[in-house]
Amino acid sequence: MSTAGPSHGAPQREGSIPGFTVLIPARLASTRLPNKPLAALGDAPMVVRVAQRAMRSRATRTVVACDSDKIMQACAAHGVEAILTRDDHVSGSDRLAEACALLGLDGDDLVVNVQGDEPLIAPPLIDAVAELLHQHPEASMSTAGHAIDSVEDLRNPNVVKVVCDARGRALYFSRAPIPWWRDGFADGVNALPQPAPLRHVGIYGYRAGFLRSFPTLSQAPIEQTEALEQLRAMWHGHQIAVHVTEHAPGPGVDTAQDLERVRRLF
């Protein structure tokens, strides 16, 4: 998976993956970085850059699901499809569920959620997440992970970890260092166990029928404890398939410092 340099929009390619839709949730208000979707990266706003990357995947359609006419206008100016959703959604999943309804997606239609602050997302990673969900009919969702290569990341609660079973399905997601190395961590988390733990990458594939029903599921105690929404799906018995990629994704944008770092790449 290459993360070197931004890519501009291009015609979406056909492939062996059944048709899937990329949905990009975009909310104008942001606590840490106001108007983040419209932050300029070169000659285009960030949400457009994300869509341009997604349009290089094998998705049959890429749609920005936003809460603002300003985002709609920015997408239209760059030839990116967008739909207007309510501005009172409490999570990105709620916004995506409304987008599925507006687009008429349901049942086993495949949807990949690409975060609107990932302007360096690798198109092959999007394809891999969609293909994995297609290959696992028992799963309601798919996502991705990669091997952690630093003790600092293993300790960092902002770096979410995932543990999988023998078939590559998630057993648990946590902000804690998991799996816990009983002998190696006796004096603290100062080394990496082998095989290396997996960092969760925040990209999701969904079956649209499940995504539309997700907001109706009650919140799970473990979801509230960890502040990780994907645990709600597992709490209610849904399986999540995990694609393990060899490389970490390009940097996302959460803060003004992140934005300046990514701007240098454009």
- 199-233: pLDDT as tens digits: 999 999 999 999 999 999 999 999 999 999 999 99
Residue 11 pLDDT more than 50?
no
| Widest distance between CA atoms in the chain | 57
Confidence of residue 136 (pLDDT cuts 50, 70, 90): very high
Average pLDDT score over residue span 19-41: 89
- The per-residue pLDDT for 3 is 36
User: Span 257-265, mean pLDDT?
Assistant: 89
Query: Would you say the pTM of this structure is higher than 0.85?
Result: yes
The band of 114, judged by pLDDT with boundaries at 50, 70 and 90, is: very high
> What pLDDT, in 10s, does the model give residues 58-82?
999 999 999 999 999 999 999 999 9
Instruction: Write the pLDDT tens digit of every residue in 149-202.
Output: 999 999 999 899 999 999 999 999 999 999 999 999 999 999 999 999 999 999
User: What is the Rg, in whole angstroms, of the alpha carbon atoms belonging to the chain?
Assistant: 18
pLDDT for 198: 97
130 is written with which tokens?
Answer: 């969609």
Question: 208, 210, 138: which is closest to 169 by C-alpha?
Answer: 138
Residues 81, 63: Cα–Cα separation, whole Å:
5
The DSSP code for 62 is E
Q: pLDDT category, 9, cuts 50, 70, 90?
A: very low
Three-state SS at 235: helix
Predicted pLDDT at 16:
61
Q: Is the peptide bond before 179 cis (omega within 30 degrees of 0)?
A: yes
Give me the domains of the chain, ranges plus CATH numbers: 20-264 (3.90.550.10)
- Parallel/antiparallel/unpaired status of strands 81-84 and 61-66: parallel
